[in-house]
């Protein structure tokens, strides 16, 4: 099926999805250009749809420059890099990719939790460096049966909780509103942090959640507490976190996201009580395909029927 519409692709998608876009639309790939801004400007009176990865900014300036734009289809459930306010003012639909990545991101949360409790990364290094020939690896901390706190009991938060149930953990959570779930609700984040052994952060990013986890919350989590962040780097005060990890204010952290990606401060890298991953929460072939397909389907639907499958605004 060929649809004679012009689609700007701002980030790298899985090959199969890129092929699908190329076969269906007239595509323009700004991520391949040395000067993306100039490239987009040269197409400003053509572009009707944008396909873009979660982390790539779609600013109000950019939206204003594209008078024919109808849809910004965000490849990711978190759309904090898109200026949704301006999109709405400009009558542009924004879509995201909810649900299709719940399992993947929840799996990543579990992997980070187990890795940080059981020191998997350091244990691996210990063996590779042949240190096992001389001594046993130090004992780690048991995860099963601990108190697990979730900050953000949304789609992914609930999927994480389901998995955590099988570890016989007590599951608790904080969101702005109490949810219809069987887990213990804390109306104050500080109280949740004080109660639990692990605080797992899975809220949206953006201004509203900026530095929700601050020095005070980390202090409450305490010297036996672990922090897991698979939400956005901005939700945590990274400076305060580094200080807390360096000074045993908390015991360890598993982090998939950072404040100024892809830059990760040496102060974090040099710690031995962290496990750090490069924003791979949803990054498997299968899930990225499903996410890409939803981006594609949203654009097809918008440009042919003026409706969308997973609207944000
Ligand atoms: P969701 O269903 O909208 O859930 C978000 C939850 O956060 C809701 O329960 C919401 O509940 C809560 N929340 C929002 N603002 C809050 C605040 N200020 N204080 C406390 N709780 C707050 O979203 P989702 O699909 O689960 O995705 C969550 C986020 O995960 C995404 O936005 C994205 O940033 C992140 N993510 C990361 C990766 C990765 O690769 N690491 C992958 C996918 C998603 P209330 O409204 O009741 O507060």
206 lines ligand 1 (CB under 6 A): no
Q: Whose CA is nearest to atom 15 of ligand 1?
A: 203
Q: Fold for 102-276, please state it.
A: Rossmann fold (3.40.50)
- State the pLDDT at residue 279: 97
Does the pLDDT of residue 55 top 90, yes or no?
no
- State the pLDDT at residue 185: 98
What's the CA gap between 229 and 198, in Å, rounded? 11
What's the CA gap between 11 and 7, in Å, rounded? 12
Does the pLDDT of residue 241 top 90, yes or no?
yes
- State the pLDDT at residue 272: 94
Rounded average pLDDT over 222-247? 98
- State the pLDDT at residue 192: 99
161 lines ligand 1 (CB under 6 A): no
Domain residue limits, the chain: 6-100+286-305, 102-276
Counting from 1 in the atom list of ligand 1, the atom nearest the Cα of 178 is: 47
What is the token pair recorded at 192? 């949740």
- One CATH from 3.30.365.10, 3.30.1360.40, 3.40.50.720, 3.90.650.10 for 6-100+286-305: 3.40.50.720
What is the token pair recorded at 105? 């991101």
Does the pLDDT of residue 225 top 90, yes or no?
yes
2 lines ligand 1 (CB under 6 A): no
pLDDT band at 138 (very low <50, low <70, confident <90, very high): very high
What is the token pair recorded at 263? 């830059």
What pTM did the predictor assign? 0.97
**Ligand 1 probe mutation, 94, 149, 151, 156, most atoms within 8 A of CB:** 156
For residue range 95-128, list pLDDT tens digits in order: 999 999 999 999 999 999 999 999 999 999 999 9
- State the pLDDT at residue 236: 98
Percent of the chain with pLDDT over 70: 100
Rounded average pLDDT over 45-56? 95
Does the pLDDT of residue 130 top 90, yes or no?
yes
Distance 2 CA to ligand 1 centre (A): 36
- State the pLDDT at residue 1: 83
- State the pLDDT at residue 13: 97
- State the pLDDT at residue 310: 98
- State the pLDDT at residue 5: 98
Contact 165, 171 (CB under 8 A): yes
Strands across the sheet with 184-185, in order?
A: 184-185, 170-174, 147-151, 198-201, 226-229, 252-255, 274-276
- Find tokens 């779930």 and name the residue: 181
**Ligand 1 probe mutation, 204, 276, 278, most atoms within 8 A of CB:** 204
pLDDT band at 54 (very low <50, low <70, confident <90, very high): confident
302 lines ligand 1 (CB under 6 A): no
Tell me if residue 261 is catalytic: yes
Q: Is 6-100+286-305's fold the same as 102-276's? A: yes
Tell me if residue 279 is catalytic: yes
Distance 98 CA to ligand 1 centre (A): 11
310 lines ligand 1 (CB under 6 A): no
Work out the mean pLDDT of the chain and round it to a whole number: 97
54 lines ligand 1 (CB under 6 A): no
- State the pLDDT at residue 203: 98
């Amino acid at each position: 099926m060929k649809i004679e519409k012009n689609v700007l692709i701002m980030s790298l998608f899985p090959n199969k999805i890129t092929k699908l876009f190329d076969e269906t639309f007239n595509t323009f790939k700004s991520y391949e250009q040395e000067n993306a801004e100039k490239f987009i400007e040269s197409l400003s009176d053509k572009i009707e749809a944008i396909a873009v990865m979660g982390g790539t900014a779609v600013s109000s300036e950019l939206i204003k420059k594209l008078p024919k734009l109808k849809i910004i289809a965000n490849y990711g459930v978190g759309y904090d890099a898109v200026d949704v306010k301006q999109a709405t003012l400009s009558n542009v639909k924004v879509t995201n990719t909810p649900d299709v990545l719940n399992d993947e991101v929840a799996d990543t949360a579990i992997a980070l939790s187990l890795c940080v409790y059981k020191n998997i990364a350091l244990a691996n290094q210990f063996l590779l460096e042949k240190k096992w020939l001389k001594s046993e690896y130090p004992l780690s901390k048991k995860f099963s049966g601990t108190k697990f706190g979730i900050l953000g009991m949304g789609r992914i938060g609930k999927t994480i909780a389901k998995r955590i149930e099988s570890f016989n953990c007590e599951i608790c959570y904080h969101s702005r509103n109490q949810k219809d779930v069987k887990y213990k609700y804390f109306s104050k984040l500080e109280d949740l942090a004080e109660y639990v052994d692990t605080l797992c952060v899975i809220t949206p990013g953006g201004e509203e959640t900026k530095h929700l986890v601050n020095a005070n919350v980390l202090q409450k989590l305490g010297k036996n507490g672990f922090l897991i962040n698979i939400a956005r780097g901005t939700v945590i005060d990274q400076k305060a976190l580094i200080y807390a990890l360096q000074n045993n204010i908390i015991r360890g952290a598993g982090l998939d996201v950072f404040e100024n990606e892809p830059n990760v401060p040496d102060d974090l890298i040099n710690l031995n009580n962290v496990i750090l991953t490069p924003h791979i929460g949803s990054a498997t072939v299968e899930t990225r395909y499903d996410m890409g397909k939803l981006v594609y389907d949203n654009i097809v639907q918008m440009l042919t029927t003026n409706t969308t499958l997973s609207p944000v605004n």
